[in-house]
């Protein structure tokens, strides 16, 4: 009998210890994760009746604010988004039903005044019992954002503009977009109805295409291929001279890789980039072999970019490491940004930024600074390097070649009077319809400041007749002009 009691007692002790360990994990170790989970409505309810600071653009436009609630509910404040869908996919929303997203989530503690730096600065508010809030100022400029929206128009796609010296996002707009105001309402049934309508919409207006969607980058990726080829001593801008071909025979298969429109092209690396010659860059992909994967990774392919917009950016992808011997044709297609390569528009903006910034890619971020309720700057968001994509020498060589693309190659539609632009066009084949039109660039080419990535899905208004040079390059030129105050 005593032996049986000891067994039962031992089992009870073990169960108690397991419960204690689980509670310790949930309440201490995992507390922050649970508190910030957007599905945690308790966190949203905790903050919904607190004063909440505004979110501003870099040029002072109010993107989010709280006003006294006018409805007959227990909520004291109503969150408003005066710019509607223009900044929705970055700013996000505060919802007591579905939690917070975007900047509203990432910088929640600053907005409600709970961030440590703000609390130290607002000691007088704590003594008086009032709640001091924070103001979040973004790096996004409303003038550049509006130009991006106007340039895309009704075409589905995305525009990303970066300050390549700091990593600050100057514009990030995707279409279609959505109005976040209904999701911040106080009527739970109406909020759920609006949320369901968004999720049921086949056009995915709530999808942050700029950093949450993958596309084949097409020939814009040839800038990355060129940089890796130079770094790995496979090619220089002048040598070797690749044969003039209309198609490239692919090893391990009876298939071929064709040039756009069946044209013949070739020459050295610089000439091939200017003409966007598929056969040359397909051959370079084969010549690089497994080294190509490591070179892509330096640019961030296969790595999740650090990004301060919840739920964060997704990783772009490339061929698996060590897969060349079994899948050589896919490396030829990777050389032209097809096959196993798929990137976000943000990633291609980062690639352009790295080339323009002497080989260094800065961490992308939309937050610029945190202010207290009196307008005093409490904290500035740090500008930090993320990756060294290539050497300064290689970056300058690719800069020169990309400038040639705009001066006299496929990207002439991106020219800006008085400013030299370095860019690369792309027309990416996509399953189920017309190709995507791409363009990446940075300017001024001789003193780079801003990088841009543009994708127009399915060729936009031109459909199957679209190319990156015809439809995406002019959009890039428009937003760069505004960014540069030209």
The C-alpha angle 82, 83, 84, rounded to 5 degrees, equals: 95
254-267 tens-digit pLDDT: 999 999 989 999 99
Query: What's the DSSP call for residue 314?
Result: P
Model confidence band, residue 253 (pLDDT cutoffs 50, 70, 90): very high
The pLDDT, as a whole number, for residue 120 is 62
Q: How confident is the model at residue 33 (pLDDT cuts 50, 70, 90)?
A: low
Evaluate if residue 391 carries a pLDDT over 90: yes
Cis upstream peptide for 418 (omega within 30°): no
Contacts of 160 (CB under 8 A, 6+ apart): 169, 171, 172, 210, 345, 346, 348, 349, 452, 453
Q: Show the tokens assigned to 247.
A: 């198609």
Give the mean model confidence (pLDDT) for residues 273-300: 98
Q: What is the mean pLDDT of residues 132-160?
A: 97
Q: How confident is the model at residue 2 (pLDDT cuts 50, 70, 90)?
A: low
Rounded average pLDDT over 338-354: 98
Mean pLDDT of 101-111: 97
Q: Are strands 360-362 and 367-372 parallel, antiparallel or unpaired?
A: unpaired
Residue 52: the pLDDT is 94
Q: What is the pLDDT of residue 32?
A: 59
Q: Is the pLDDT of residue 318 over 60?
A: yes
pLDDT in tens, 294-307: 999 999 999 999 99
- Tell me whether residue 415 is exposed, middle or buried, using C-beta atoms within 10 angstroms of its C-beta: 0 to 12, 13 to 18, 19 or more: middle
CA dist 228 and 335 (Å) reads 10
95 is catalytic: no
Q: Quick one: pLDDT band at residue 467, thresholds 50, 70, 90?
A: very high
28: pLDDT strictly greater than 70: no
Percent of the chain with pLDDT over 70: 90
Q: What is the pLDDT of residue 373?
A: 87
Model confidence pLDDT, tens digit, residues 55-103: 999 999 999 999 999 876 778 999 999 999 999 999 999 999 999 999 9
Q: What is the DSSP letter of 244?
A: E
The pLDDT of residue 37: 58
Per-residue confidence at 6, pLDDT binned at 50, 70, 90?
A: confident
CA dihedral 8, 10, 13, 14 (to 10 degrees): -110
Look over the chain and give the mean of its residue pLDDT values, rounded to a whole number.
92
Q: How would residue 40 be classed by pLDDT, with cut points 50, 70 and 90?
A: low
Query: Residue 14's pLDDT is what?
Result: 75
Pick the catalytic residue from 219, 223, 272, 316: 219
Tokens of 442: 């940075």
Query: How many beta carbons lie within 10 A of that of residue 383, not counting itself?
Result: 15
pLDDT band at residue 46, thresholds of 50, 70 and 90?
A: low
pLDDT value for 27: 64
Read off the pLDDT of residues 224-234 as tens digits, 9 standing for 90 and up.
Answer: 999 999 999 99
Q: Assess contact for 388 and 297: CB atoms under 8 A.
A: no
Q: Does the pLDDT at position 148 exceed 90?
A: yes
Q: Residue 425's pLDDT is what?
A: 98
Scanning 233-383, the segments in alpha helix (DSSP H) are: 269-275, 278-288, 291-299, 328-334, 345-356
Rounded to 5°, the CA angle 115-31-116 comes to 15
For residue 130, what pLDDT band results from cuts at 50, 70 and 90? low
Please list the residues that pair with 55 across neighbouring strands.
64, 136
Q: Minimum mean pLDDT among 35-49, 128-142, 151-165: which range?
A: 35-49
Short-list 218, 199, 432, 167, CA closest to 333? 218
CB burial of 48-86 (b: ≥16 within 10 Å; e: otherwise) equals beebbbbbbbbeebebbbbeebeeeeebebbbebebebb
How much is the pTM? 0.89
Model pLDDT for residues 404-455, shown as the tens digit of each residue:
999 999 999 999 999 999 999 999 998 889 999 999 999 999 999 999 999 9
Q: Region 206-225: what's the mean pLDDT?
A: 97
Rounded average pLDDT over 196-220: 97
Look at residues 111, 107, 79 and name the one whose alpha carbon lies nearest to residue 95: 79
* 340-363 average pLDDT score: 98
Confidence (pLDDT) at 19 = 72
pLDDT number for residue 45: 62
pLDDT for 432 equals: 85
Q: In terms of Cα–Cα distance, which of 456, 453, 473 is closest to 171?
A: 453
User: Are the beta carbons of 175 and 156 closer than 8 angstroms?
Assistant: yes
The span from the CA of 301 to the CA of 175, in Å, is 24
Residue 251 pLDDT exceeds 70: yes
Whose CA is closest to 143, among 93, 181, 86, 92? 86
User: For residue 1, what pLDDT band results from cuts at 50, 70 and 90?
Assistant: low
pLDDT of residue 124 exceeding 60, the answer is: no
Q: What mean pLDDT comes out for the span 208-212?
A: 97
């Amino acid at each position: 009998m005593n032996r049986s009691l000891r067994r039962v007692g031992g089992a009870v002790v073990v169960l108690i210890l397991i419960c204690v360990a689980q509670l310790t994990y949930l309440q201490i170790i995992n507390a922050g994760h649970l508190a910030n989970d957007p599905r945690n409505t308790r966190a949203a309810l905790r903050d919904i009746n607190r004063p909440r600071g505004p979110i501003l653009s870099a040029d002072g436009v109010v993107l989010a604010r709280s006003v006294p609630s006018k409805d007959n509910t227990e909520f004291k404040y109503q969150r408003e988004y005066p710019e509607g869908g223009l900044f929705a996919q970055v700013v996000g929303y505060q919802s007591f039903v579905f939690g917070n997203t975007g900047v509203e989530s990432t910088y929640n503690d600053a907005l409600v005044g709970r961030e440590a730096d703000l609390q130290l600065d607002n000691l007088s508010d704590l003594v008086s019992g009032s709640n001091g809030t924070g103001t979040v100022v973004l790096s996004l400029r409303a003038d550049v954002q509006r130009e991006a929206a106007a340039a895309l128009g009704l075409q589905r796609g995305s525009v990303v503009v970066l300050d390549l010296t700091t990593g600050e996002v100057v514009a990030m707009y995707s279409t279609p977009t959505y109005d976040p105001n209904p999701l911040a309402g106080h009527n739970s049934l109406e909020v759920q109805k609006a949320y369901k309508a968004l999720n049921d919409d086949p056009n995915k207006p709530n999808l942050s295409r700029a950093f949450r969607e993958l596309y084949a980058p097409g020939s814009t990726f040839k800038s990355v291929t060129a940089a890796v080829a130079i770094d790995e001593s496979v090619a220089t801008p002048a040598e070797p001279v690749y044969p003039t071909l209309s198609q490239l025979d692919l090893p391990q298969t009876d298939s071929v890789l064709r040039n756009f429109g069946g044209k013949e092209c070739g020459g050295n690396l610089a000439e091939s980039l200017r003409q966007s010659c598929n056969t040359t860059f397909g051959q370079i992909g084969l010549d690089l072999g497994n080294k190509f994967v490591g070179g892509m990774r330096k640019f961030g392919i296969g790595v999740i970019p650090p990004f301060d917009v919840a739920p964060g950016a997704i990783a772009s992808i490339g061929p698996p490491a060590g897969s060349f011997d079994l899948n050589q044709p896919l490396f030829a297609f990777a050389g032209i940004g097809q096959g196993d390569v798929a990137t976000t528009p943000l990633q291609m903006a980062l690639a352009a930024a790295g080339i323009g910034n002497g080989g260094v890619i800065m961490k992308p971020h939309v937050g610029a600074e945190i202010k207290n309720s009196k307008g005093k700057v409490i904290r500035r968001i740090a500008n930090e390097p993320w990756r060294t994509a290539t050497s300064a020498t290689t970056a300058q060589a690719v800069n020169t070649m990309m400038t040639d693309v705009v001066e006299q190659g496929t990207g002439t539609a991106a020219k800006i009077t008085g400013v030299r632009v370095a860019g690369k066009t792309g027309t990416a084949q996509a399953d189920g319809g017309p190709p995507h039109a791409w363009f990446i660039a940075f300017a001024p080419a001789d003193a780079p400041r801003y990088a841009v990535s543009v994708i127009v899905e399915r060729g936009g208004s031109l459909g199957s007749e679209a190319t990156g040079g015809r439809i995406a390059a002019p959009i890039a030129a428009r937003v760069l002009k505004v960014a540069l105050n030209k």
